[in-house]
Structure 1
């Protein structure tokens, strides 16, 4: 395994502690102690804690963009309609992981509700890329309106993620998948 740079260590440690405890509740000094670097070293890599938070969100997004594609393909193969529905199988695995602390993008948007804040913008971009993935899959599945399919499926996913945080005993993935199938039945022609 390659040795991490100080910047990479800060992003990795930031990801672990911010995801576990929240972006705003963790002070910079604590994070620097965990990594073992000085403030001067930190400021050689980042302008501020907010700059690190954006780097954490962006790095998570780079990783997740690849990871979600790999996971849905493992579940559904190359079938785009199946890959859309596989999102709910992947979601099930994620939300039932003991380390799950909610969607990092939703967490960031909640902690930084101002739309102009860089962390909020970074989370919003990641979410928009998720819609773009769904739109691509819907187009490949032959949807009559791929953007509408993507937006509706995304809304189902977001609702399921929020519901899971509020009511973890609810079977959100089964319910969400059932609703998603209805959307797909409406917009994606059945192949004979």
Structure 2
């Protein structure tokens, strides 16, 4: 396996530390100490800490997009209806992982609430891709209005993520999945 470049090391360390402790809580000096590089070396790769944060979010999005599709396929095979429901099983697995510290996109949007901030935009773009994936699944499943179904399912997923963050003792994914089953019946006009 090839060794990581300095840029890759900075992104990897940034991901680990920012995700665990927060984007704003971690100073650049701490991150550079973790990686073992100078400020000059850092600035050879990134214009600012915000630039690194965007790279972290974008890299996480690249990884998660592939990971999610793989997990859905493994859980439900090629059936788009099954994959929509499997979303809740995948999310449930993720949120109960001991290394889970909230949705990185929600975390970024909360820490950078200004819609024009690059980290906020990056998080919003990642979330938009999730809706696009759901829309594709809804279309392939035969929904009359794939975008409407995708947005409704996405809202359930977001609600489950937030509910788990606030009240981890609530089985948010099971509740959301039950509602998703009703939405699928409504949108696909065929019983599950």
- The TM-score normalised by the length of structure 2 is 0.98
The SS at the match of 1:56 is: helix
Matched, 1:175 2:175: yes
1:162-188: per-residue Cα shift (whole Å, max 9, x none)?
Answer: 000000000011101001111111001
- Cα offset, 1:33, TM superposition: 0.2
Mapping of residues 8-23 of structure 1, within 5 Å: 8-23=8-23
In structure 2, what is the equivalent of residue 79 of structure 1? 79
Mapping of residues 40-59 of structure 1, within 5 Å: 40-59=40-59
The SS at the match of 1:102 is: coil
Mapping of residues 126-145 of structure 1, within 5 Å: 126-145=126-145
Task: Say if 1:142 and 1:189, in contact at 8 Å, map to a contact too.
Answer: no
In structure 2, what is the equivalent of residue 105 of structure 1? 105
The SS at the match of 2:99 is: coil
Aligned partners of 2:167 and 2:20: how far apart in 1? 19
Aligned partners of 1:147 and 1:139: how far apart in 2? 8
5+ long unaligned stretches in structure 2: none
Aligned partners of 1:126 and 1:2: how far apart in 2? 28
Name the count of aligned residue pairs: 192
Task: Give structure 1 regions of 4+ aligned residues with deviation exceeding 4 angstroms.
Answer: none
- Cα offset, 1:2, TM superposition: 1.5
- Cα offset, 1:189, TM superposition: 3.3
Aligned partners of 1:95 and 1:119: how far apart in 2? 22
Aligned partners of 2:128 and 2:16: how far apart in 1? 24
Task: Say if 1:149 and 1:187, in contact at 8 Å, map to a contact too.
Answer: yes
Alpha-carbon RMSD: 1.0
